[in-house]
Amino acid sequence: MRAFFAADLPADLADSVADAQAAFEGADGLRFVDPEQAHVTLKFLGEIGEDQTEASTEPTLDDVIAAGERAVETADVGPFECAVRGFGVFPSLDYISVVWAGVDAGSAELTALHEALEAETTQLGVDSEEHDFTPHVTLARMNDARGKELVRETVRERDPDIGRFAVDDVRLVKSALTSDGPEYETVASFGL
């Protein structure tokens, strides 16, 4: 199964996320994410095995759950509050593949959780991240560059305050890709 660790935004911020996405209306080539599924990805795992088989080289679900428990304990982060504000893009304004809203307050705690999860999961054989961790909420993915100028202008000129939310757990999420977009299911939760 395809999986990742995340801190979820609450349902009451979905309208604020949708309002932030509306700033990019008219930018052709963008595919918006479902505001109801907004989250901060702490560590993308890729494919993990649901159970151990002799031929499998993927870490198992049980291995990943144990790694998540150890990581949350190692990070030693208690419940905290995050503030989502401002826009950014990956990898750069010259070549845009992802449009996101940044995390202001709470970024140090999210980074500590990411680093602990990174350390624990790479020991299981999960690929390490190739870029620095930037706490963010993905708003859209850019399929082609037709709307690039509007995205650039919006990112440079707007600094929306999307909202605050409490983080009191880390979730292990199963992601199933469908023609209507990804469907997420929480597999395990680790309290802070």
Tokens 């505001």 correspond to 35
- Domain with 142, as residue range(s), is 2-191
Question: CA triplet 19, 136, 30: central angle to 5 degrees?
Answer: 55
What pLDDT, on a 0 to 100 scale, did the predictor assign at position 56?
Answer: 60
What pLDDT, on a 0 to 100 scale, did the predictor assign at position 53?
Answer: 56
Let me know if 114 is a catalytic residue.
Answer: no
Which residue among 2, 39, 70, 164 is the active-site one? 39
What pLDDT, on a 0 to 100 scale, did the predictor assign at position 54?
Answer: 47
pLDDT tens across the length of the chain (192 residues): 999 999 999 999 999 999 999 999 999 999 999 999 999 999 999 988 876 554 567 788 999 999 999 999 999 999 999 999 999 999 999 999 999 999 999 999 999 999 999 999 999 999 998 889 999 999 999 999 899 999 999 999 999 999 999 999 999 999 988 877 788 999 999 999
pTM exceeds 0.95: no
C-beta neighbour count of 142 within 10 angstroms: 22
Burial 14-38 (b: 16+ CB within 10 A, else e): eebbeebbebbeebebbebbebebb
User: What are residue 166's DSSP bridge partners?
Assistant: 81
Burial 166-188 (b: 16+ CB within 10 A, else e): ebeebbbbbbeeeeeeeebeebb
User: Rounded distance, CA 10 to CA 47, Å?
Assistant: 26
Pairing of strands 80-91, 39-47: unpaired
Let me know if 136 is a catalytic residue.
Answer: yes
User: Rounded distance, CA 22 to CA 154, Å?
Assistant: 11
CA dihedral 175, 171, 36, 26 (to 10 degrees): -70
CATH label of the domain that carries residue 98: 3.90.1140.10
DSSP assignment of 50-80:
SS--TT--SPBHHHHHHHHHHHHHHHT---E
* Total domain count, the chain: 1
For residues 110 and 7, the answer to whether their CB atoms sit within 8 Å is yes
In Å, what is the CA distance from 131 to each residue of 90, 128, 171? Answer: 11, 9, 22
Which residue among 16, 27, 120, 136 is the active-site one? 136
What pLDDT, on a 0 to 100 scale, did the predictor assign at position 181?
Answer: 76
